[in-house]
Amino acid sequence: MTRRRLGFLLVFGLTVLLPTMGAIVYYGPVASDVFISESRFVVRSPQRPTQGGLGALLQGTALSRSQDDTYSVHDYVRSRDALRELEQRLGVRALYSAQTIDAISRFPGLEPWDSSFEAFFRHYLRHVSIDYDTASSISVLKVRAYAPADAQRINELLLEMGERLVNNTNTRSRQDLIRVAEHEVKVAEERAKDAAAALAEFRSSRNVFDPDRQGAIQLQSAARLREELQAAETQLDQVRRVSPGNPQMGTLDARVQSLRAAIGKETANVLSSQGGLTSKSPAFDRLVLERSFADRQVATALAALDSARSEASRKQLYLERLVSPNLPDSALEPRRLRAIVTTFVLGLMLWGIVSLVIASIREHTD
């Protein structure tokens, strides 16, 4: 047998026969069966209408898809926090480290020196996956385990944790919405109290209740006094012309002077710049306007609080299970025959490449 023939057989054995035999040995009696538990769910909200497909069905129940919150559930399921809770409640490290699992598949597998949490987290991510259909908003959660019951229990617990995350999100959103509205009501009520107190203090210190109304009353009184003054002056003129020496003239003159003084006082009370009702009116109007604005703010804030409470009760998220986690009755992985054939085909491709390289080297050498 020539050296070239021996080299050909050696290369063929190393690139095709040896990997294929290894695949036959591993995927035959060695590789552990992998059971897959699958569940389907959708996160939806009653906030926005949807159209088409599953959206039409959800629209019939006044619910819509909530894509952002769906991604939050996905991230949480494949997070370290979720893995820690799984470890506390199910002991998943022991499930994936059982001696009944083949040495390559079980944790820590090909890295026996690294049994850290981060290494186990990477192992966990290879066994838990979520597929998302953007058209229907359906999420498919798949859990791979080496016992049917383990895969189902892990899948069930992950769904429960996702539901709890959605419920916590609802609670925080509702509390934040109502808390902000209640704060606005408190601010408005404090403003209204301050405005009312300022108006009461102004009335007490300035001895005035309503400058405009009081001014109108006093001006009406002054008008009546002017009418009386006009009558008194007319009577005085008549007496003075008819009977200049009439003793009533003194009385009439005193009455005229008294009416003029009374009119001057009433007019001063309204129009005087020093303590008159007119000078008090601008400050009073500002206080009344502030109280009016404060009262409106209270009414608006109370309406907003009622709206926030209604919105909080309506704006809910739901994690709806479409398909509960199944209990697999047969192993779906590994696909042994396909793995062996794939190894054989890849070996042939590698053998062809190596043969071409060797032939090229020999040609250049000759």
**Which CATH number do you get for residue 126?**
3.30.1890
Residues 51-66, mean pLDDT to the nearest whole number: 45
pLDDT at 283 over 70: no
pLDDT at 337 over 70: yes
Residue 6, domain member (yes or no): yes
pLDDT at 236 over 70: no
Q: Mean pLDDT over all residues of the chain?
A: 77
Residue whose token pair is 């009312």: 196
| pLDDT tens digit sequence for 62-84 | 444 556 678 889 999 999 999 99
354 with 328, same domain? no
CB of 335 closer than 8 Å to CB of 33: no
Residue 53, domain member (yes or no): yes
Residues 252-273, mean pLDDT to the nearest whole number: 63
Total domains in the chain come to 3
The pTM assigned to this predicted structure is 0.62
126 with 26, same domain? no
pLDDT at 52 over 70: no
Residue 366, domain member (yes or no): no
Residues 87-99, mean pLDDT to the nearest whole number: 91
Residue 27, domain member (yes or no): yes
How far, in Å, CA of 237 to CA of 245, rounded?
Answer: 12
146 with 65, same domain? yes
What band does 160 get if pLDDT is binned at 50, 70 and 90? very high
Residue 328 or residue 307, greater confidence: 328
Residues 137-153, mean pLDDT to the nearest whole number: 93
CB of 141 closer than 8 Å to CB of 39: yes
Residue 305, domain member (yes or no): yes
**Residue 271 neighbours by CB under 8 Å, 6+ apart:** 278
35-45 vs 318-323, strand pairing mode: antiparallel
pLDDT at 285 over 80: no
167 with 191, same domain? no
pLDDT at 29 over 60: yes
pLDDT at 332 over 70: yes
163 with 230, same domain? no
169 with 199, same domain? no
pLDDT at 273: 47
DSSP designation for 329 = S
How far, in Å, CA of 305 to CA of 135, rounded?
Answer: 36
Residues 268-288, mean pLDDT to the nearest whole number: 56
User: Residue 114: phi, psi to the nearest 5?
Assistant: -120, 100
342 with 223, same domain? no
pLDDT above 90: percentage of residues in the chain: 21
Residues 53-64, mean pLDDT to the nearest whole number: 44
What band does 276 get if pLDDT is binned at 50, 70 and 90? very low
Residue 137, domain member (yes or no): yes
199 with 108, same domain? no
168 with 299, same domain? no
78 with 168, same domain? yes
pLDDT at 59: 43
What band does 149 get if pLDDT is binned at 50, 70 and 90? very high
Convert 109-143 to b/e letters by CB count within 10 Å (16 or more is b).
Answer: beeeeeeeeeebeebbeebbebeeeeebbbbebbb
How far, in Å, CA of 43 to CA of 138, rounded?
Answer: 8
| pLDDT tens digit sequence for 169-213 | 888 877 787 888 888 888 888 888 888 787 677 666 655 655 555
Domain that holds residue 273: 180-314
343 with 327, same domain? no
4 with 125, same domain? no
Residue 365, domain member (yes or no): no
